[in-house]
Structure formats: C-alpha cells, structure tokens
Amino acid sequence: MGAEPLRILQIEDSAAQARLLEEILRGAMDAPYELKWVDRLSAGLEHLEQSNFDLVLLDLGLPDSQGLNTFERLYARHPLSAVIVLSGLDDEGIALKALQAGAQDYLVKGQVDGRLLVRAIRYAVERKRVREMLTKERDLLEALIQSLPDQIYVKDAAGRFLRANGAVASFFNLATVDALYGKTDFDFFPHEMARPFHEEEQRIIGSGEPVINREACIADQSGGNHWMLTTKVPFRDHNGAIIGTVGINRDVTQMKMAEEELRRANTELARSEAELQKAVAELQKAHDELRAAQMQLVEVEKLQVVGRLAAGVAHEVKNPLAVTLRGIEYLSKSMVAKDEVVTTVLKDMNDAIRRADAVIRGMLDFAAPRQIEVRSEDVNAVIERALWLVKHDLDRRCITVNRWLEHDLPRCMIDLQKMEEVFINVMENAVHAMPAGGSLTVRTYARQLTGFGTNVGDSKVLRFKMGATVVIAEIEDTGIGIPPDKLSKIFDPFFTTKPTGQGTGLGLSVCKTIIELHGGAIDIRNRKEGGAQVAIMLKAERKE
C-alpha cells in the first residue's frame, strides 16, 4: 500500500456493521490504514469535499439515500473516487448496474471475510491509480492536439467527425469543436468538393493504404482558398479492424504563395539570360583563377612543411643507411659462409633498407604534387578487397570482422589503388590497437547532407555542398583508443603512437592527403565504448 496509511471512508448507517468492518480490517490488513465512519451520504460527501480518501466503502441503504441512486449521487460528485459497494442486498442485477456505473466492486455483507475484503480494497485502489494516470495521459494528449496549428481529426466509417482539434473548428468558422461531431464534409463543403474527399476516405477504409502529403486547394467558409497538405491513415480498433480514418491537414498557402513569387522571379531572371550567362562565365573564370591561386598556396605550404620535416627525415634515414654501410663493409672484409654473425648482419641490413625505403616513399607520397586517376568505383568492393589483404593479420590477432555494408550504395569517382591504400592503412592501425584481439566493424551508408545527422565533424562537412549525396565509410575497433592529448596531432607528419620500428608516422598524413585530393574528408575520434572510429566521407557520383 506504500509508506503513507491508506485512508478509507465508510458510509454505513449501522454502527454494529461499522464495528464489525473495523474488526475485520484490523485482523486482515497488513499495511497501515485510517478508517473514517459516517452514517449518512450527506456526511460522506462533505468529508470527500474536505479531505482526500483512497477508498470509499458505501452502503446503498442509508437514512438520506436508498438504492443504486446512492452510488450515482456520490459518483456524480466524485467520479475519480474508488468506491466499493458494501451492501446487505444480494442482488446480481443491482451489482451489475453498480459496476457498469463505475463502482470498483460489489460485496455483500455477511459474505465477506478479511481476505476477500483486503483483496477487493487493494484492487480498487490500484484501479483508481491506473485510472488517474490514464486520465492525466488523456488530458495531456488532448491538450497537445488542441495546441497544434495543424488540423487533426478522426472520422468514423461513414465520414462523420468523431474527434477534432480547434484548428478544424476554426477553419469551418465554428465556435466550438463539439459543433463538428456527427457531421460530415457534405455539411461544410459543396457536394462536388466533398464527394472526392469522401470517396478517398472510403478507399482508405477498404484498402488500408494511407494517403501521404496530398496537396489540394480548399475553400473555407468565407470563400478564401487554402492550399492544404493532407495525410490520411486508417483508424483501427483494438482488434486491428479499420473503423474510420485519421487525418492531418497542414495549411501550406504561404509556401504556395512563396513558390508563386519564386516563379515570377524566375521569369524575370529568364529575360536577362544573356547577361546572366555572361556573368556566370566571368564568375567561372574568376573561380578558376582563384582555385589556381589557392593550389599554388597549398603547394607553397606543403613545401614549407617538407622543409620542417627535413630534419626528421634525415634522422630516420641516416641510421638505417649507416647500418647498411657497416654491413657492406663487414661483408667486404669477411668470407661469405654460414656464419651466425653474417646472418645477423644481413638481417640488420635488410631491416634498415626496408625502413629507409618506407620513410622515403611515405614522404614522397605526402609531399609530391600529383594528379589522381579516378574512375567510377564501388566503395564496398574496395573495402572487401582491403579486408582480404589484411585477413592474415586479422586472423593472427583473433579479430572478428563485422560488416554492415549498405546495399545499392552510390558509386564514387575515386583512384582505386590510392583508396585501397587508405583503407588498408586504417585497418592495419586498428589491428595494431588490438594486440589481444577484439572486433573490427566496417560500416558504409549514403546520406544527403542537410547540416545535421552525420558522424563526421562539422568542420569536415563544410567541404561539401549542402544537399549533396555523400558516401560514408566507418571503421571501428575495440582497441586501446587514442590518448586525448594526441588526437589533435594524429595527422601531423612523422607523429605516431606506435613503438619505435612499427611505424613512420606518415600513414595517416598520406591517407588525409589522398582523401582530400578526392575532395573528401576524414575524421578520427575515440568511441565511448572504447576503441577508435575512423569516418571517411566521399562525394557520391552524380547521376545524370
């Protein structure tokens, strides 16, 4: 029953029956309660006005009220009260009428024991709580519907209004919503206008197929025309049977007027087509000149970066070359034979040469200006090949691969080899971040940019025109993630979080360069669940 005592009001004219009930409750109730007894209906109504009671135990035969009228008088004044009729009359007909009128239960004096009474009290109080909750939800929903500017209504199978909000009444110039109920469109529109509305609703009822965002021009009661965007769906009962329709009308007259203004503006612009074409040509020329200047600035900046990298490259290359030279010198003075030292030297030479080569190639890929060769490619196919090429490393680390590749993904204009390098590099980074195993999730999908709802950072989205269709590839791992203080540096050349000898730090720099040459963007961030996520955004191939 809760921490607060249950407050019970007993309206009973017999003091003996009242004492008997108190004895029954004292022996059966296992929760705190307060029992208030009055012997007349008038006194009970007065107490209900002054105090809150969780339950009323009502006798139908009172000095100031008799029969079912006793309950009806109390329920009319306090419809939310939980009432159990406790009567000396064992009449099934009266009991049924009392329950139909709103009583929670009907118990007969002399046939009630403590267990039955306590159970009835518990059920009645719980039903009251549920009813109050449903009443609040209903009132909230009604207030919400009434506050919406769109016209919302419910009709039965014959097209009669069952429910509606104030916007519908206002459209028909009615003082209240109640004036709508029981009427049809034929009561408000001319027959030739109402008939297609009615036929449309009958088709919905017969087929179950909704009508979504249909535009129609409708005249209101004062003769003014309104453009309405109408949606109608089937109205079903609790068994799923269609018993009517639910409709929502949105007045888009202002939007239509704006469209008309736009059409007139376009007509005016068409009259100046020659001047416009000339302006566009001049603008295109200026754009090309600006782009060329920007590319020159980019190349200058890249040369400056390369200059700053020179010291690091020299450091990375010098040591491997020194090892190689010492190995060559050693071999020139020693006999070639199966010697452990010779084997070690050869291995050092091989490792050093590979390392030097990787550094030099990475630097050239990053710094050397070049053109990419793009063709229409399936990004999903590129990813599948990259997964196949790193399959050995995935299996060796016991890493599970989860593929969520969207079907019918738009194709992209990309350099197949370069983009394959990008995906391999990103996947290898994920493998290195999961030395003890884990899972690698690869996801692709297409989105039309609206400025919201993308996983790629806002600064990256600015690279694309709003409304453009893009293909997004996400690679997620469950590894150790990236230290927060290192996230801002991951695209810097020669920066790496890997141990010495496992990476040059040029991989992500080269990836970023390749993606930007494609007009795309890349974003890397840590996942809340652990690990990192790499999101690559590419422009979808434009369909002519």
What residue has token string 């040029």?
A: 506
| pTM, to two decimals | 0.36
Lowest mean pLDDT among 296-300, 317-321, 398-402: 296-300
Closest CA to 397 of 427, 355, 354, 424: 427
Residues 524-539, mean pLDDT to the nearest whole number: 92
Which CATH number does 6-144 carry?
3.40.50.2300
Domain 375-539 sits in CATH 3.30.565.10: yes
Going by DSSP bridges, is the β-strand pair 521-526/151-156 parallel, antiparallel, or unpaired? Answer: unpaired
**Tens of pLDDT, residues 352-407:** 666 665 555 555 554 454 567 889 999 999 999 989 988 888 999 999 999 999 99
- Output the CA torsion 307→309→314→316 (10° steps): -170
**Tens of pLDDT, residues 220-274:** 666 677 788 889 999 998 888 999 999 998 888 888 788 778 888 888 777 777 7
Residues 120-140, mean pLDDT to the nearest whole number: 80
Percent of the chain at pLDDT exceeding 70: 79
DSSP structure class, residue 62: B
Long-range contacts of the stretch 197-202 (C-beta < 8 A, 24+): 198/159, 200/232, 201/155, 201/159, 201/232, 201/245, 202/159
Within 10 Å of residue 198's Cβ, how many Cβ atoms? Answer: 17
Question: For residue 1, what pLDDT is reported?
Answer: 44
Strands (E), 157-287: 161-164, 211-219, 225-236, 242-251
Residues in the chain: 544
Average pLDDT, whole number, for the chain? 81
- Any idea which architecture 148-256 has in CATH? 2-Layer Sandwich (3.30)
Query: What is the residue-wise DSSP string for 275-315?
Result: HHHHHHHHHHHHHHHHHHHHHHHHHHHHHHHHHHHHHHHHH
Question: For residue 314, what pLDDT is reported?
Answer: 52
- pLDDT at 500 exceeding the cut of 50: no
- pLDDT at 455 exceeding the cut of 60: no
- Same topology for domains 148-256 and 375-539, yes or no? no
Q: What are the sequence ranges of the domains in the chain?
A: 6-144, 148-256, 274-367, 375-539
Q: Which residue has the higher pLDDT, 117 or 496?
A: 117
What residue has token string 């390392």?
A: 355
- pLDDT at 452 exceeding the cut of 50: no
Q: Which residue has the higher pLDDT, 499 or 198?
A: 198
Residue 414's H or E segment, with its range, is strand 412-414
Handedness of CA 461, 466, 467, 469 (dihedral sign): negative
Question: For residue 141, what pLDDT is reported?
Answer: 73
**Tens of pLDDT, residues 84-106:** 998 888 888 888 998 888 888 89
Tell me how far apart the alpha carbons of residues 48 and 52 are, in angstroms, rounded to a whole number: 6
Question: For residue 242, what pLDDT is reported?
Answer: 93
Phi, psi values for residue 540, rounded to 5°: -75, 150
**Tens of pLDDT, residues 148-183:** 788 889 999 999 999 888 888 888 888 888 899 999
Alpha carbon distances (Å) from 283 to 275, 277, 391, 468: 12, 10, 50, 22
Res. 198 pLDDT band, cuts 50 70 90: very high
Query: Which residues neighbour 297 within 8 Å (Cβ) at sequence distance 6 or greater?
Result: none
Question: For residue 20, what pLDDT is reported?
Answer: 87
